[in-house]
Amino acid sequence: MLRNRLLFLQNDNDKNKNHARTAISRKPQAAHNIFLSSKPKVKLAAILPALFVIFTGAFTADSAFSASAANSESTLISADSKENVEAHFTVIAHRGASGYLPEHTLEAATLAFSLRPDFIEQDVVITKDDIPVVLHDIHLETVTDVENIFPTRHRDDGRFYVRDFTLEELRQLRVHERTGSNGSQVFENRYRGNHANFNVATLAEHFELISELNRQFGTSVGVYPEVKSPAFHIDEGVDASKMVVDALNTYGFGGENGNSYLQCFDFNEIKRIRETLGYKGKVVMLIGENDWGESDTDYNWLRTQEGMKQVANYADGIGPWLGHLLDNDAMVQGKIKAASWVKYAHENKLTIHPYTYRHDALPAGMSSEQVLDVLNKVVDADGVFTDHLVPVLTWRDKQNQRK
């Protein structure tokens, strides 16, 4: 799912154009003004600035929205909220338990499994010897020490591409917390250790791990792989989508009854997965911004009535960026409602899994519960991608206890 410039944004600004992005867990929702707590009314001044920050990515440390604004008088709003919270709000472990351990490592996947999300995500890229590995980006320097181990193996753009290394070579690298262009951790309070030897793992290793843990514990945690940069891989002479589909089928996660979602940012690739590869399992169309360079897909067009209709011809769901979900004009008027395009997703019965909730990147003035309530009640999302499973699972348990 996608980048640090996304929701609850951080320095990574993948597009910093030198560093990969982070998705903030994954996808759209509905439209009504509603309460953001169990109380009948809430003061908009206390949350609207923060909502604007979250859902537009406009947050900075010196935000003009000060504490005084949060305490000022404002219009009170109320509206009909859902009488009952949905029995199930899907929780997806974004890159494993990436809020606690280096992303996409087997250790992060194991920790995620132990917390019992519904799905664990794997971003997939392909090595020089045509082996699918689990890494968020087609580049290596943001999450490994490749520049120290193979200092001359970068391309003309100065970046180190996974596709230029064999699996044996990748095994020599140490995976670390994601770093920004200045070399410092994007999320400074996450894992700070220097001695644990986290390594690059294959897609087969991730699928085997989850499959075996499910078997032994009698559980059914699913997988949620993303085909990264399919057009890039095709240009490199490799069909990344087919490799992922084959792996899903091999480990029993694929097909119409498979406990998985297959996601991608490239609409043409989503269509190819259906039509050319004939894949019958659940597919999700990821939605970002056009200037992120994820693909040549026009994401603005996707968020139209015709766009959502076309998506529904090929996909079971969408994975929108949180910044697309709320109506900014309504917030200026003191109202909280879903962006108008979200209704098109609901009309086409598309599952909505937004990205990404990060507990260590909550905007000032908003609690964890308020952020999740907005996704659940205002947008009517079906779930969320999260780096931090504990607060999201705790919130979900509370909702279900209230039924």
Give percent of the chain above pLDDT 70: 78
Nearest to 379 by CA among 328, 321, 325: 325
87 falls in which pLDDT band (50, 70, 90)?
Answer: low
Q: Is the pLDDT of residue 291 over 60?
A: yes
- Region 44-61 average pLDDT: 56
Tokens 């309460």 map to which residue? 35
Is residue 97 predicted with pLDDT exceeding 60?
A: yes
**What is the predicted pLDDT for the residue at 336?**
87
State pLDDT tens for residues 112-122. Answer: 999 999 999 99
Which range among 58-62, 70-74, 341-345, 384-388 shows the weakest confidence by mean pLDDT?
70-74
13 pLDDT band (50/70/90 cuts)? very low
The per-residue pLDDT for 256 is 94
**Active-site residue (options: 94, 139, 324, 388):** 94
Residue 50: its pLDDT value, please? 63
pLDDT at 48: 63
Q: Where are the beta strands (DSSP E) in 268-347?
A: 283-287, 317-320
> Which DSSP state fits 304?
S
- Mean pLDDT, the chain, rounded, equals 84
Residue 55 corresponds to which amino acid?
F
Q: Give the lowest-confidence range in 31-40, 166-175, 365-374.
A: 31-40
Does 94 qualify as catalytic in the annotation? Answer: yes
Cβ neighbours of residue 257 closer than 8 Å, sequence gap 6 or more: none
Cα three-residue angle 222-227-233, rounded to 5 degrees: 155
Coil, strand or helix at 322: helix
Q: pLDDT grade, residue 236 (50/70/90)?
A: very high
**Do 145 and 178 contact (CB within 8 A), yes or no?**
no
d(CA 170, CA 146): 8
Of 43-47, 173-177, 253-257, 329-333, least confident by mean pLDDT is 43-47
Exposure string over 100-135, b if 16+ CB within 10 A, otherwise e: bbbbbbbbbbbbbbebebbbbbbbbbbbbeebbbbb
Q: ω before 250 within 30° of 0 (cis)?
A: no
Q: Which of 19, 104, 136, 206 is catalytic?
A: 136
Catalytic site includes residue 136? yes
Q: Do residues 232 and 138 touch, judged by C-beta distance below 8 A? A: yes
Distances (CA, A) of 85 to 93, 263, 325, 376, 401: 21, 26, 19, 8, 10
CA distance 159 to 145: 12
Q: What percent of the chain has pLDDT over 90?
A: 73
Q: Is the pLDDT of residue 197 over 80?
A: yes
Q: Residue 46: its pLDDT value, please? A: 55
pLDDT for 78: 32
Residue 338 pairs in a beta bridge with: 326
Per-residue model confidence as pLDDT tens digits over 294-337: 999 999 999 999 999 999 999 999 999 999 999 989 988 888 89
* Rounded CA Rg of the chain: 20
Q: Where does the pLDDT of residue 51 fall: very low under 50, low under 70, confident under 90, or very high at 90 and above?
A: low
Residue 349: partners with Cβ closer than 8 Å, 6 or more residues away: 312
Q: How far is CA 8 from CA 13, 25, 30, in A?
A: 11, 11, 21
End-to-end CA gap in the chain: 31
349 secondary structure, DSSP code: T
Instruction: Please give the Cα distance from 345 to 322 (Å, whole number).
Output: 15
Give the other-Cβ count within 10 Å of 298's Cβ.
12
Residue 164 has pLDDT above 50, yes or no: yes
Give the largest CA-CA distance in the chain: 62
Give yes or no for residue 3 having a pLDDT over 50. no
- pLDDT (0 to 100) of residue 331: 84
Cα–Cα distance list, 25 to 314, 323, 398 (Å)? 21, 12, 20
With bands split at pLDDT 50, 70 and 90, how would you rate the model's confidence at 366?
confident
Residue 44 has pLDDT above 90, yes or no: no
- What would the mean pLDDT of 172-201 be, rounded to a whole number? 96
Torsion of Cα atoms, 293 then 298 then 300 then 303, to 10°: -120
Between CA 220 and CA 113 the distance in angstroms is 10
What angle is formed at CA 108 by the lines to CA 104 and CA 114, rounded to 5 degrees? Answer: 135
Residues 122-137 pLDDT 10s: 999 999 999 999 999 9
Are 180 and 19 in contact, with CB atoms under 8 Å apart?
yes
At 45, the pLDDT band (50, 70, 90 cuts) reads low
Judge whether residue 5 has pLDDT over 60: no
Q: Is the pLDDT of residue 104 over 60?
A: yes
Locate 145 and state its tokens.
């020490």
